[in-house]
Chains A and B, each alone.
Chain A
Amino acid sequence: MSLIKLTGLEKIYQQGKIEVPALRGIDMEIESGEFTTIFGPSGSGKTTLLNMIGCLDKSTAGEIVFDGHSINDLNSKELAEVRRYNLGFVFQSYNLIPVLTAFENVEFAIRLIDKHSKKERRDKVMSLLEEVGLGDMADRRPNELSGGQKQRVAIARALIKEPKLVLADEPTANLDSETSKEVLELMKEMNEELNTTFIFSTHDPQVMDYARRLIEIKDGKISKDQRRD
């Protein structure tokens, strides 16, 4: 069974009286453990597609099935529940909470689930921070970390609750090529180690080099879907 199944997915934005179609009938399946990149020119609909898969936005038509359950009819509270337990996000601008330390930023995501004891939480967060190479920077706040380190914290935050799917929207856009490589290596490692599904949206050819599946979007439609071994 696929982790995600999109059938005839459409999204139309209303700009005043004008209807702007962002997605025009997307059919796609993503299996568990995939490392997929969605690419395409600006305005092609990459981010919209990622938002739909990430339960952040609702489609105008078509169906999204996540882990065997249709999410089309879920209300905003139920969608938040799906995101809370099943999804991790990595953003282009990291979006860490500036007043929290690296440790607390990662812990934040797991506290929402609230099924771990304080000690379990601490051990889990510390072991993940060590895994992303920030074990000795747990007490640092985002303004004391470099861009690459911030993105590592964001990756740890996305992975801490062991989600079924991690969505990364242009995760290397603000990083230099060396740091981008390190971050991508890390995500690849996590994908292989934890079998977490990763979907990226990007312009960055370096990211595409790492992907095992490349999906190209043009004018709201899939124009290419290529798997690599």
Chain B
Amino acid sequence: MTFLINIAFKNMFRNKLRTIVSILAIAFAVMVIVFTRGLIDGMIGDTYSLYIHYDTGHIKIIDEEYEQKEKLLSLNYTVKGLENKSLSEMQADLSEMEGIEMVIPRLKFGAAVSTEEELVQMLAWGVDGAKELKFTNLERELSQGRMVEPGQREVVMGSELLKKINRSVGEKVTMVYTTAFSSFQGATFEIVGEIQSNLPLLNEQVVFMPIDTAQNLLYLNDEATELLLVTEDRELAGEFLPQVRNYLSQGGGNNYLAQSWKEGNTFIQLLEVSETIYNFIYLFLVLLSSIVVINTLVMIVKERTQEIGMMSALGLKSREILQLFILEGSAMALIGSFLGALGGGALNYYLAGVGFDYSAAFEDIDVLMNPVIYPTYKVEHMLFAFAIGVVVTTLTAIIPARRAAKLEPTEALREI
């Protein structure tokens, strides 16, 4: 076998240009796979995190009706506890459950601030500041000041929102809103922090305030529009879901809906499907590049027919001739895949720091996606692309190699 490997390797250099073209075709396909996987992983991973942080948690509990009215920021379908338990008691029970690490209440409602030119509308989120800092990446996004603290009439806003209302940290702002009893009211808050984020939701739309303050203003004592549960591992959220649902139904909370982050959002479901589709696209890409290798090997078999006849005459078995040509294809696959994986890895390593600005493409799309995508640099992606490059190309090399192995020695020797 060693001598077959030696010959196969040396044979690669018989027509250097042709070999280089074949290797480059594989390298390009593998590089595209590494890059695409890094890009998709960066985009999807980041998008999953954003949805989990700012929409679904690992498990989200809402009122059944609220699911339909969420966009309207309705205050008529809140989570207000169970038959014999207040929301606070319900939160305490849930946080005691196995696998649940944190319970985060949010009270979302619409608010507006009047400036000289216009009425600036915003999404007000009553939150537990400490928990939000722990769960989300808000700490990193806070460019000035601090997060809101319980019991205070204070808010944290995005920098764009602050610009729109001509305010800055330390100043006061008066907001108008509609209470749970549909009465129109106003209140003044101190701006204690500014958020600087790539995410339009945080930068331009949301205003954070302490949840107890929001509950008082809206007359929704100990109520929230949603409860987010954080589990040990987001991939295991589905496993803890039955016990949560069981707890809700036993406590008379049949009107509540508990959904894992994967169930609760159609966009996430779409991304999951797209991940599978991308795997087929990777395969297709390598198959395409393999055509170059097949073509090269077909030409090689044609050119070396007499040589195959000679080898056969010397006693090389069909299996060994098959191996010889597969080895030649594999050698090209190995070199091409290695170079491609390395190139793709280097590209991702660079782009992971710089990122891709997609803001223009996302301008009018209502999805929770970071407009700057940072491809991930992972050795795992390089290994995956390398393996797929080597395996698929080697398998496709069997086609021309079989042709060589099937040649009758007398026919082959007659060929000029």
Interface, chain A (partner B; CB < 8 A): 51, 54, 56-57, 76-77, 80-85, 87, 89, 91, 93, 95, 97-100, 107-109, 111-112, 157
Contacts and interface: CB of A to CB of B under 8 A. Distances in A.
A98 B14 contact: yes
Contacts, number: 64
Given A99-B7, A100-B10, A83 B315 contact: yes
Interface string B305-318: 01101101111111
A89 B318 contact: no
Nearest to A96: B310
B7 A54 contact: no
A77 B317 contact: yes
Contacts of B410: 51, 56-57
Q: How would you classify the secondary structure of chain A's contact residues: helix, strand, loop or mixed?
A: helix
Contact of B315 (A80, A95, A107): A80
Interface string B297-341: 000000000110110111111100000000000000000000000
B238 interface: no
Given A56-B410, A95-B306, A100-B7, A85 B318 contact: no
| Chain A to chain B: the 4 pairs with minimum beta-carbon distance, closest first | A84-B315, A95-B310, A99-B10, A83-B315
B312 A99 contact: no
Interface in B1-26: 3, 7, 10-11, 13-14
B310 A77 contact: no
Interface residues of B, number: 21
Contacts of A157: 314
Nearest to B319: A77
A107 B318 CA distance: 20
Nearest to B14: A99
Contacts of A109: 314-315
23 contacts: A56-B312, A56-B409, A56-B410, A57-B408, A57-B410, A76-B318, A77-B318, A80-B312, A80-B315, A81-B317, A83-B312, A84-B314, A84-B316, A89-B310, A91-B313, A93-B306, A95-B306, A95-B307, A95-B309, A97-B307, A99-B13, A100-B10, A111-B3
B3 A85 contact: no
Given A80-B316, A84-B315, A93-B306, 8 more contacts: A57-B409, A84-B316, A87-B313, A89-B314, A91-B413, A99-B10, A99-B13, A111-B3
Contact of A112 (B315, B408, B413): B315
Interface in B175-232: none
B320 to A, nearest CB: 8
